[in-house]
Amino acid sequence: MQLALAIAQAVVYLFKNDLSKASHWLNTARAFINSNIHESKQLRLDYYTAQLHYRQDDYDKAKSLYRKILKTVRLEQSKRPLIESKKPDLQMQQIEVYSLNWLVDIALKEGDLDTAAVLLEQSWPMIERRQDVRSQAFHMRSQAQLAKQRHNLSAFKHWSQQAITSFRSLGMKTQVKELETWLTDKS
């Protein structure tokens, strides 16, 4: 319970962009880990630690953790018995999709457009299968950003509008405002 609360506190401070307090709570969470911890709790801790590194512009550390998360998720999924694997582990799939999208964002920040495009192609089928509107919205936002960096104005407008519609339906005003700013920005 203490571990879950510490991670939840870290998430709150990440969203408030108070990286110092987020770091404190992630370190606190790390102190509660023992050998009996469930894999999903460790993955959540790694996920938010990677997000902290991303927000601190430490893309190498973030990338390394997101790749570790993907490797762990895929290994865990491959270990599941065939009958059990027909029932998807939604939490693991969500961690996988979100980690892929953060890797896309890092690739875009680093100007590695080819890697961003490959990761987007890789994640889209998973997102469609899950029918997770939030994941779809972030994926569309990343597609818009990729199109903008590739100077493809029509694709940029298309993906931006799609993402805005999805974010609006989710009540995610910050993301809507961000995309509307992108559309009005002439640079």
**Measuring CA to CA, which residue among 3, 14, 86 is closest to residue 42?**
3
pLDDT (tens digit per residue) in 11-50? 999 989 999 999 999 988 888 776 445 667 788 889 999 9
Q: Please report whether residue 51 resides in a domain.
A: yes
pLDDT (tens digit per residue) in 99-142? 999 999 999 999 999 999 999 999 998 888 888 899 999 999 99
For residues 136 and 178, state if they share a domain. Answer: yes
For residues 65 and 153, state if they share a domain. Answer: no
pLDDT (tens digit per residue) in 57-68? 999 999 999 999
For residues 75 and 99, state if they share a domain. Answer: yes
For the chain, how are helix, strand and coil distributed in percent, rounded to 5? 85, 0, 15
Task: Examine the fold and report which residue of 89, 116, 143 is the final residue of a domain before the chain moves on.
Answer: 116
Boundaries of domain holding 157: 132-187
Q: Please report whether residue 45 resides in a domain.
A: yes
Domain count, the chain: 2
